[in-house]
Structure 1
């Protein structure tokens, strides 16, 4: 069985963690194409199940999480893993071995009448239950301002949040990244970064409003807005956006520089890419946000890079 097929199976495994009907149908077609596809997926699933079992043994976690992918998938191929094999290793080495952050709201002082503020620290998650029973799950280093008054529901998001909104006579008004949204009942993932905002409608419709104009995001579609530029497209793999709720990040042919930037959102000890050659390397896979040491280990095993510990505050990845 080739390394490329194992890497492909690993990507499918990540996509199925939060799959819609279209993704499930596409996966079924892929697995039925040949017995090798089914066998590759079974091996990836077995390795992930083993990783979850090891997660219950904290004393052995550090050592085993780094070697699991190779012992489960490379036992028949002792040569140095190719880049395709490293993609599969990234998924397995980053299986959910430990829970991410917390699941409790964290109130801060009231900044204006009728407003409450909730925050998460680096690497934390928090579930915020709103006065109407709606729930917002905040991702790492995020802030949510909540203002309910006179039947109006106003939310302001900095960072990332997954909104599970209950029905109401009036829509919820959400501001994020300098843009204003309105939504009724449904499930939506919003993320604001400097100069841009991203919104995914998992269920229900989400409207981006600007003055008298509005643009509607239909279920299964992703909106990306940067300034006045707005792009809406269907999303084949929702887990690539919402996987963080399960402690997973998914990279599909992403540059190492961008992958490190995503990881650093969850790390107090940042990863720094030392040179342009390393930064331009492409990585694929899905892994647990709390297990970045395994990600670094998989990189050094399958890519032409080395790791330097320049200080106690930084991990440096450089070309070799």
Structure 2
């Protein structure tokens, strides 16, 4: 087994240890904050945490069953051969309220075997976009470099957006909500068209039609909730703060699904960052004076060469090839001999 495989195998165990620690009533704020940082550090960490939380929530009902209560009592008196949760004194509950927690801790090493199915993963590579038809008639369009996991059960249609951006055209079913889990937030819907984009800093939601309920959680478990209506957008960050609701640029929102970037007064670095998401050819700025240039126009997201030609014709920019898949933008005004566009 290679190092990366070992790291993937270790993630569920780490999630189990964090979850058990946070179950303790005397768990300090520092540990809760450390757990929040661990979850935010990698989409796989957050996915493992959510799977474990799903099991815990399901156990809340099961714990009231007499057979489970008896198993909990047996767990209190059984001494297995020193697994990790027995070696840590701080894991032991101090009150009868924690009996159900002991039962769950006793089965944590096996939670992956009895948890709901891991779901179906859909992903896209650089420059790839993909449309997926889900069993209930919902359609998901994945943008470049995106990944999500779909889990359906009798009560809920659940999606974990792990990275990138996706558009959801949801088939209405009020008895079976459609819930997108992303970062530290959830988006609940019964039948709309909306987009979600996530990165390391924040998550943005654009509602094309319908209504959404959005919740974002802070590291201390405080939760903000907002309802979003058609033609609006918002963002939430890792701290759980939700931005004010704003009008959405629906032309830009719908454009990426057709391979177009509708750019309205963007800074040049923002345009390049967006184009770089779709292409092997990466474009960077080699002169800080270009950072302040504002760009408007329509660009084919998969055609960086045409974008470079347009930039050189409309702005004081010179493009210089730097390797087979890298282009540097320079200030043409600093070198009049480079006034005409360079053929790349």
- Cα distance per residue 1:46-75 (max 9 Å; x no partner): xxxxxxxxxxxxxxxxxxxxxxxxxxxxxx
Q: Which has the higher strand share?
A: 1
SS in 2 for 1:201: strand
Equivalent in the alignment of 1:202: 208
How far residue 151 of structure 1 moved from its aligned partner, in angstroms, is 2.6
Structure 1 pair 280–177 and aligned structure 2 pair: CA distance change class (3 A) = farther
Equivalent in the alignment of 1:115: 119
SS in 1 for 2:289: helix
- Counterpart among 130, 144, 148 of residue 144 in structure 1: 148
Unpaired runs of at least 5, structure 2: 1-114, 217-221, 333-344
How far residue 212 of structure 1 moved from its aligned partner, in angstroms, is 6.2
Equivalent in the alignment of 1:315: 327
How far residue 112 of structure 1 moved from its aligned partner, in angstroms, is 7.7
How far residue 233 of structure 1 moved from its aligned partner, in angstroms, is 3.1
The 2-side partners of 1:283 and 1:262 are apart by: 13
Contact map agreement 2:233 2:248 (CA 8 A) in 1: no
Contact map agreement 2:281 2:304 (CA 8 A) in 1: no
Structure 1 pair 212–236 and aligned structure 2 pair: CA distance change class (3 A) = closer
Contact map agreement 2:206 2:248 (CA 8 A) in 1: no
TM-score normalized with structure 1 length: 0.62
SS in 2 for 1:294: helix
How far residue 304 of structure 1 moved from its aligned partner, in angstroms, is 1.2
Q: Note if 1:304 corresponds to 2:316.
A: yes
How far residue 163 of structure 1 moved from its aligned partner, in angstroms, is 0.2
TM-score normalized with structure 2 length: 0.58
The 2-side partners of 1:297 and 1:276 are apart by: 20
* Worse-superposed segment, 202-211 or 258-267: 202-211
Q: How many residues align?
A: 210
Equivalent in the alignment of 2:165: 160
SS in 2 for 1:156: strand
The 1-side partners of 2:225 and 2:119 are apart by: 26
Equivalent in the alignment of 1:133: 137
Equivalent in the alignment of 1:178: 184
* Worse-superposed segment, 225-234 or 310-319: 225-234
How far residue 259 of structure 1 moved from its aligned partner, in angstroms, is 0.6
How far residue 232 of structure 1 moved from its aligned partner, in angstroms, is 3.5
SS in 2 for 1:311: coil
Contact map agreement 1:221 1:233 (CA 8 A) in 2: yes
Matches within 5 A, 1:187-226: 187-210=193-216, 213-226=224-237
Matches within 5 A, 1:1-320: 113-157=117-161, 158-168=163-173, 169-210=175-216, 213-227=224-238, 228-235=240-247, 237-320=249-332
The 2-side partners of 1:205 and 1:222 are apart by: 11
- Cα distance per residue 1:64-116 (max 9 Å; x no partner): xxxxxxxxxxxxxxxxxxxxxxxxxxxxxxxxxxxxxxxxxxxxxxx982401
Contact map agreement 1:177 1:195 (CA 8 A) in 2: no
The 1-side partners of 2:116 and 2:320 are apart by: 47
Contact map agreement 1:221 1:232 (CA 8 A) in 2: no
Contact map agreement 2:224 2:242 (CA 8 A) in 1: no
The 1-side partners of 2:124 and 2:255 are apart by: 18
Contact map agreement 2:224 2:241 (CA 8 A) in 1: no
Structure 1 pair 135–295 and aligned structure 2 pair: CA distance change class (3 A) = same
The 1-side partners of 2:254 and 2:207 are apart by: 10
Structure 1 pair 114–133 and aligned structure 2 pair: CA distance change class (3 A) = farther
SS in 2 for 1:265: helix
Unpaired runs of at least 5, structure 1: 1-110
Aligned alpha-carbon RMSD (Å): 1.8
Structure 1 pair 189–223 and aligned structure 2 pair: CA distance change class (3 A) = same
How far residue 137 of structure 1 moved from its aligned partner, in angstroms, is 0.4
